[in-house]
């Protein structure tokens, strides 16, 4: 992108001319790093210098053959005059990266840098041209308040460059646990996490820089083939899912999709509701990551959380809005606060709360696949099929060694219902996805417990516990265990339990009738 103008323009090698809506703006820096000098103390690793070096390397890789120009005031302290070079470089920078700590928000120099960048941006091409922010907040350590920062920066969702650790020195999602910056001085795991975060940041910055691409030789702005891509409402979430949020947002931006909201939602309930409704109306797809924490409470204690508000307006859009909701069941069990726990539990079982969404309890890769699949459907004009299943289906889960032993059972079931069976062939990811799809689609499950080990049975039970989260809350009509083969101690322990069937020495087709009857029972309501 920059290579064309660096080769053909009369500007100095570090300069690139940008044209945006007719405004001719010249930037000499790709990135301006704004930071408190006390956060770069060499006694504790010169964190900002290390960050700068990593960002430059990853950004150069992302921008291909363009050498990134990153400006940073390298004086030893903030206690010097706010000189002309800082003002000039702020105005000549396409993007600002603010390294936020309590030191930063309390520093008059940092406050002024943030204010001047935002004001100059708004006077020229804007702070968020094409809905892509030119300010990135790197939260090195959580702050008590950001009240001293300009409002546009307070409204930006930052990226955590820290982890929380419990007293036992285990990584934690509890916001009450202590925060530790991703400092390479703390060891290799911290260094690796830092590199991953900076790499992702570099990719996101490169997306903004490419949107500010220089004009072509004729002087006209470069056309954008992805302008007609659908808008995605990526719902704001609690602290424990911010990493997943950042991953999905980066993926969407790199694929050219417009993502809203572009910043933090208003802090008062009325304004928050109005903004969510306004932005949701522009979107074709909503993606919501629900976690153990509710996110902001714009109405104060006891009011609806941001998770509830966003879900409410998404449901109101009905089938006009495709929806992907990520909610692993264990997160509902571990939810913080009775109000949030009640909401998440309801999302797993209450059809009114769910609306017409794809509710997924699997890992983030499955969520990403569902998101991209929905976007593909939207772009091709394919409507989401209605939730209709006239033919009942049963998923028979068995160990590969029981392929032959389970056949009589499967054959008998096939006379009454559609039988889905475990997948074994193919790439591991494809096999896993096929079995997840079976769990999502079936009306009931039979576990054929024959040659499978006790560990195998425990793994199957775990999958079934998690299955409800990606079945849109729809419970199994029947969940039976079919005991076959040698009667081990673990199998004997199951005898007499609900829906446990011991096959005996010879297969009797009449033994499947309780399963068929349960499948054919009318749905509640």
Instruction: Give the total residue count for the chain.
Output: 525
Q: Are 163 and 179 in contact (CB under 8 A)?
A: yes
DSSP 335: -
Q: Which residues contact 129 (CB under 8 A, 6 or more apart)?
A: 20, 211, 212
Stronger pLDDT, 64 or 214, i.e. the higher one:
64
Q: Among 101-105, 184-188, 329-333, 452-456, which is the least confidently predicted range? A: 329-333
Cα–Cα nearest to 51, from 141, 138, 112, 163: 138
Find which of 33-37, 290-294, 485-489, 519-523 is predicted with most confidence, using mean pLDDT. Answer: 33-37
Of 406 and 384, the structure prediction assigns the larger pLDDT to: 406
Find where tokens 């990853």 sit.
58
Tell me the per-residue pLDDT of 138-161, one tens digit each, with 9 for 90 and over: 999 999 888 999 988 887 778 899
One DSSP character per residue, 172-241 reads E--TTSEEEE--GGG-HHHHHHHHHHHHHHHHHHHHHHHHTPPP-TTSPPPP-TTTTSPEEEE----GGG
The answer for residues whose C-beta is within 8 angstroms of residue 497's C-beta and 6 or more apart is 481
- Asked if residues 94 and 212 have their Cβ atoms less than 8 Å apart, the reply is yes
Beta-strand runs (E) in 219-371? 231-234, 258-260, 285-289, 322-326, 358-360
CA distances to 196, 492, 513 from 363, rounded to whole Å, are 19, 34, 36
Domain 393-519 has CATH 3.30.70.1250: no
What is the share, in percent, of the chain residues with pLDDT greater than 70?
87
Strand, helix or coil for residue 506: coil
The pLDDT of residue 520 is above 60: yes
What pLDDT shows up at residue 523? Answer: 66
pLDDT at 120 over 80: yes
As its CATH architecture, domain 2-219 has 3-Layer(aba) Sandwich (3.40)
Query: Which DSSP string do the residues of 469-490 spell out, in sequence order?
Result: GGTTTPPPSEEEEEE-SS--HH
* Both tokens assigned to 485: 């083969």
Tokens coding 24: 């001719």
Taking the C-alpha atoms of residue 147 and residue 70, their distance in angstroms, rounded to an integer, is 27
Residue 13: pLDDT over 60 = no
Which residues contact residue 81 at a Cβ distance below 8 angstroms, ignoring those fewer than 6 apart?
A: none
Sign of the torsion formed by the C-alpha atoms of 450, 451, 455 and 456: negative
* pLDDT range class, residue 222, cuts 50, 70, 90: very low
- Residue 36 burial (C-beta neighbours within 10 Å; 0-12, 13-18, 19+): buried
- The pair of three-digit structure tokens given for residue 188, joined into one six-digit string: 């290799």
pLDDT per position as a tens digit, 460-490: 988 888 777 667 667 889 999 999 988 888 8
CA 220 to chain centroid, in Å, comes to: 36
Longest dimension (CA), the chain: 91
79 pLDDT tier (thresholds 50, 70, 90): low
Residue range(s) of every CATH 3.40.50.10140 domain in the chain = 2-219, 393-519
Helix (H, G, I), strand (E, B) or coil at 396: strand
């Amino acid at each position: 992108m920059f290579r064309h103008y660096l080769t053909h323009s009369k500007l100095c090698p570090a300069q690139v001319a940008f044209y945006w809506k007719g405004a001719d703006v010249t930037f000499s820096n790709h990135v301006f790093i704004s930071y408190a000098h006390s956060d770069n103390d060499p006694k504790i690793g010169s964190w900002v210098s290390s960050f700068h070096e990593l960002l430059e390397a990853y950004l150069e890789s992302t921008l291909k053959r363009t050498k990134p120009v990153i400006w940073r005031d390298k004086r030893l302290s903030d206690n010097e005059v706010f000189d002309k070079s800082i003002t000039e470089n702020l105005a000549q920078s396409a993007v600002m990266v603010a390294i936020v700590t309590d030191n930063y928000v309390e520093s008059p120099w940092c406050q002024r840098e943030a204010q001047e960048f935002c004001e100059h941006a708004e006077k020229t091409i804007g702070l968020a041209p094409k809905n892509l922010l030119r300010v990135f907040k790197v939260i090195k350590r959580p702050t008590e308040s950001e009240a001293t920062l300009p409002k546009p920066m307070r409204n930006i969702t930052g990226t955590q460059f820290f982890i929380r650790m419990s007293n036992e020195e285990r990584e934690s999602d509890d916001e009450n646990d202590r925060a530790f910056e991703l400092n390479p001085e703390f060891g290799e795991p911290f260094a690796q996490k830092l590199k991953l975060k900076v790499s992702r940041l570099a990719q996101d910055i490169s997306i903004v820089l490419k949107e500010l691409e220089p004009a072509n030789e004729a002087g006209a702005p470069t056309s954008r083939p992805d302008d007609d891509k659908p808008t995605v409402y990526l719902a704001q979430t609690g602290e424990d899912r911010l990493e997943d949020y950042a991953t999905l947002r980066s993926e969407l931006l790199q694929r050219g999709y417009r993502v809203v909201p572009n910043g933090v939602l208003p802090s008062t309930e009325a304004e928050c509701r109005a903004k969510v409704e306004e932005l949701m109306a522009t979107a074709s797809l909503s993606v919501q990551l629900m976690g153990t924490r509710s996110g902001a409470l714009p109405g104060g204690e006891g009011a609806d959380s941001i998770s509830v508000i966003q879900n409410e307006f998404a449901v109101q859009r009905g089938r006009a809005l495709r929806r992907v909701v990520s909610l692993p069941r264990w997160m509902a069990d571990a939810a913080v606060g009775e109000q949030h726990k009640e909401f998440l539990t309801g999302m797993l079982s209450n059809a009114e709360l769910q609306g017409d969404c794809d509710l997924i309890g699997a890992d983030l890769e499955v969520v990403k696949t569902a998101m991209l699949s929905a976007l593909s459907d939207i772009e091709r004009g394919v409507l989401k099929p209605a939730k209709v299943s006239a033919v009942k289906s049963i998923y028979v889960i068995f160990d590969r060694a029981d392929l032959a032993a389970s056949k009589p059972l499967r054959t008998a079931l096939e006379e009454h219902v559609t039988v889905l069976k475990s997948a074994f062939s193919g790439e591991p990811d494809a096999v896993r996805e096929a079995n997840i799809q079976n769990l999502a689609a079936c009306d009931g499950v039979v576990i054929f417990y024959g040659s499978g080990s006790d560990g195998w049975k425990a793994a199957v039970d775990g999958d079934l516990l998690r299955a409800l989260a990606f079945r849109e809350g729809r419970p199994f009509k029947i969940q039976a265990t079919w005991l076959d083969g040698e009667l081990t101690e673990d199998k004997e322990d199951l005898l007499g339990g609900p829906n446990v069937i011991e096959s005996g020495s010879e297969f009797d087709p009449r033994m499947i009738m309780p399963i068929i009857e349960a499948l054919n029972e009318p749905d509640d309501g």
